[in-house]
Structure 1
Amino acid sequence: MPLPPLKEQFATLIATPSVSCTQASLDMPNQPVIDVLATWLGDLGFTCEVQQVAPGKANLLASFGTGPGGLVLAGHSDTVPFDERLWATNPLALTEQGDRWLGLGVCDMKGFFPLVIEAVKPLLSQPFKQPLLVLATCDEESSMSGAKALAEAGKPLGRAAVIGEPTGLKPIRLHKGVMMERIDILGQSGHSSDPSLGHSAMEAMHAVMGELIGLRQHWQAVYNNPQFGVPQPTLNLGCIHGGDNPNRICGQCSLEFDLRPLPGMDPAQLRAAIAQKLNPLAERYQVKIDYAPLFDEVPPFEQAADAELVQVAERLTGHRAEAVAFGTEAPYFQKLGSQTIVLGPGDIRCAHQPGEYLELSRLEPTVRLLRELIQHYCLAPA
């Protein structure tokens, strides 16, 4: 079967839903997307290996050429959930609107894979001195289980890895970590007319929030990286639930918060500092405090400014490598020995939103850039 043209590849991937979500009712398999990509790349002569991560969830490792080193072009095959009522167009259909293509995943980041295919097609008749690996992962938008499975397998991927997340074709060599945490307090309910009848979980949580804000102030005074638009670590108190009636002492209260550490900040040490503040409060308010991550953290990421990949990307794009606040799979690829950057055609400002789009003006520059990266790492390595 002949390979579909570029626009049809986009349309096929957009029309194949692969939502990744921590809510089981919204979560979907990504296997159908992996099967489509494996068919296309297999027809081009790639050797395709499918790594099963969980039922219906898989990674694709498609390689062309053999040997050590080489280049990894990587992306995730899942999307965030969507509310069709908020979209002006069908989120699962590629729609051309003026100078843009719209659709769920067109920017973040299914659209990266057809551009990789377009870039490599005319090069396949040449001898590859080092391999090209096209990598598609699962569950990046929730648990990052695909990238974690790769890291746990420990198999080296390549000399350099480029993740096609939306960066506006500017290379990214740093990003903050992502920690999503929860604190549950169990107190003792009682009649509000007599405070001695209970132990208020809400009052204890008030003290907990004060300690968290104090830690935030401390961390922001100690850690600063001017390469980020927000140069300090952030801590956001995201949602709180507790109590049930004004005339009852609050017996239970829960808080969820988001912490974004800078490179150089160790998530384990941050959690230890939080736990140290919580223990005395449990005793003071006579409550039980349970603190744990909602999900495993995404570590902060930094690739050295003098790394070959960073310098090659800066030369090819004409942009100095920057930093972003959002998290990616980059730390996991770096753990496997690859110099890693984030570099893709989309715009992060439209990601995770109704009307997600990709500017048509980005298509040709992306194909050209990817082709130059393949030539540098696979066709003409030193």
Structure 2
Amino acid sequence: MPLPSLKEQFAQLIATPSVSCTQPSLDVSNLPVIELLADWLGSLGFVCERQEISPGKFNLLATYGSGPGGLVLAGHSDTVPFDEALWKSDPLKLTEIDGRWVGLGSCDMKGFFPLIIEAVLPLLDQPFRQPLLILATCDEESSMAGARALADAGKPLGRAAVIGEPTGLRPVRLHKGVMMERIDILGQSGHSSDPSLGHSALEAMHAAIGELIGLRSQWQTVYNNPQFSVPQPTLNLGCIHGGDNPNRICGQCSLEFDLRPLPGMDPDMLRAVIREKLFPLAERYQVKLDYAPLFPAAPPFEESAEAELVKLAERLTGHRAEAVAFGTEAAYLQRLGCETIVMGPGDIRCAHQPDEYLDMSLLQPTVRLLRQLIEHYCLSPVASV
């Protein structure tokens, strides 16, 4: 089967759902996306290894060339959930609008993979002195389980790694950590006409939210790092579910929230402070309260400003390496011995939004930049920066 065009690759990946979500009803397998990528890359001579991380969830590691070192071009194969009614076009169909390719994952970040393929195509007839590794992970948007499994396995990948999250093709060497947490409150339902018949989980959750907002204000007063465009830690109340009818005292309520600590803020310390604030509420409201992380905290990331990869990316792009507020899988690849940066096309401000898009003017600059990186690390691995 011939390799689809760049645009058709975008279209097929976007048309293949791969939502990862902490809500099981919205979560789906990413295997169809992994199989598409493996078919395309396998047809080009890449050796493709699928790694099952959990039922229905897979990583793909595709390798061209052999030996130690080389370059890792990495991205996640999943997307966030989407509100179809808020999109102006079908989120699972690639649509060209005003010079933009619009579709779920076009920017964050299925579109990175066709651009890698486009970059490497004219180089495949040359000898690769060190390998090119293309990594597609699962569940970055919910638990980072795919990248965490790679890091826990400890198998070295490459000399350098570029994660193609949307940065407007500016190199990023520093970002915040990611904590996603849940609070479950079990009260006692009863007839709403007599409050003494129950214990409202919803009212207890209201108090818990007040404590979280208070902690957020406190932390944002104490912690500040001007390297970030959002210099304080953030805490986002992401989703809440509870109760079933207006005339029943709410018997159960659950909240999931997202905390983005700055480098230097210890997740265990933050969780201890949260517990200290929450657990007195159980006695006050006569409810059962459970607080736990949805997954182990994704650590903050920092690559040395003097690293070869950072210097090379700065020279190729003309931009000094930056810090960003969002989290990525970079720290996990760094644990495997890779100098690591985050750098890809697109604007993070349109990610996780209706009408997500990738500006078509970034397509060829991205291809050109990726080709230069491949040439440096795989075709001429001893070249100086």
Q: TM-score, normalised by structure 2?
A: 0.88
Question: Which stretch of the first structure deviates more once superposed, 197-206 or 258-267?
Answer: 197-206
Percent identity over paired residues: 80
1:23 offset after TM fit, Å?
3.0
The CA RMSD over aligned residues, in Å, is: 2.8
Which aligned pairs between 1:94-173 and structure 2 lie closer than 5 A? 94-173=94-173
1:248 offset after TM fit, Å?
8.8
Q: Indicate the SS of the match to 2:59.
A: strand
Q: Which residue identity does 1:157 align to in structure 2?
A: L
1:251 offset after TM fit, Å?
6.4
Partners in 1 of 2:10 and 2:248 — Cα distance? 56
Q: Which residue identity does 2:220 align to in structure 1?
A: Q
1:307 offset after TM fit, Å?
1.8
The number of equivalent residue pairs is: 382
1:111 offset after TM fit, Å?
1.1
Question: Which stretch of the first structure deviates more once superposed, 303-312 or 247-256?
Answer: 247-256
2:32 paired with 1:29: no
1:72 offset after TM fit, Å?
0.3
Q: Indicate the SS of the match to 1:355.
A: coil
Q: Which residue identity does 2:337 align to in structure 1?
A: G
Which aligned pairs between 1:264-303 and structure 2 lie closer than 5 A? 264-282=264-282, 287-303=287-303
Q: Indicate the SS of the match to 1:375.
A: helix
What's 1:323 paired with?
A: 323
1:5 offset after TM fit, Å?
2.2
Deviations 1:66-97 (A, max 9, x none): 11111100111122223433333232222222
Question: Which stretch of the first structure deviates more once superposed, 214-223 or 298-307?
Answer: 214-223
Q: Which residue identity does 2:66 align to in structure 1?
A: T
Which aligned pairs between 1:216-227 and structure 2 lie closer than 5 A? 216-227=216-227
Partners in 2 of 1:194 and 1:30 — Cα distance? 48
Q: Which residue identity does 2:46 align to in structure 1?
A: F
Q: 1:112 to 1:248 in 2, by over 3 A?
A: closer
Q: Indicate the SS of the match to 1:10.
A: helix
1:106 offset after TM fit, Å?
1.5
Partners in 1 of 2:261 and 2:185 — Cα distance? 25
Q: Indicate the SS of the match to 2:367.
A: helix
Q: Which residue identity does 2:62 align to in structure 1?
A: A
2:347 paired with 1:353: no
Does the 8 Å contact 2:143/2:294 carry over to 1? Answer: no
Q: Indicate the SS of the match to 2:236.
A: strand
Partners in 1 of 2:45 and 2:244 — Cα distance? 62
Q: Indicate the SS of the match to 1:37.
A: helix
1:225 offset after TM fit, Å?
0.8
What's 2:332 paired with?
A: 332
Deviations 1:255-288 (A, max 9, x none): 4432110122121221122223344554566654
Q: Which residue identity does 2:2 align to in structure 1?
A: P
What's 2:366 paired with?
A: 366
Partners in 2 of 1:299 and 1:45 — Cα distance? 35
Q: Which residue identity does 1:88 align to in structure 2?
A: K
Q: Indicate the SS of the match to 1:361.
A: helix
1:25 offset after TM fit, Å?
3.2
Q: 1:196 to 1:111 in 2, by over 3 A?
A: closer
1:321 offset after TM fit, Å?
1.4
Partners in 1 of 2:25 and 2:102 — Cα distance? 25
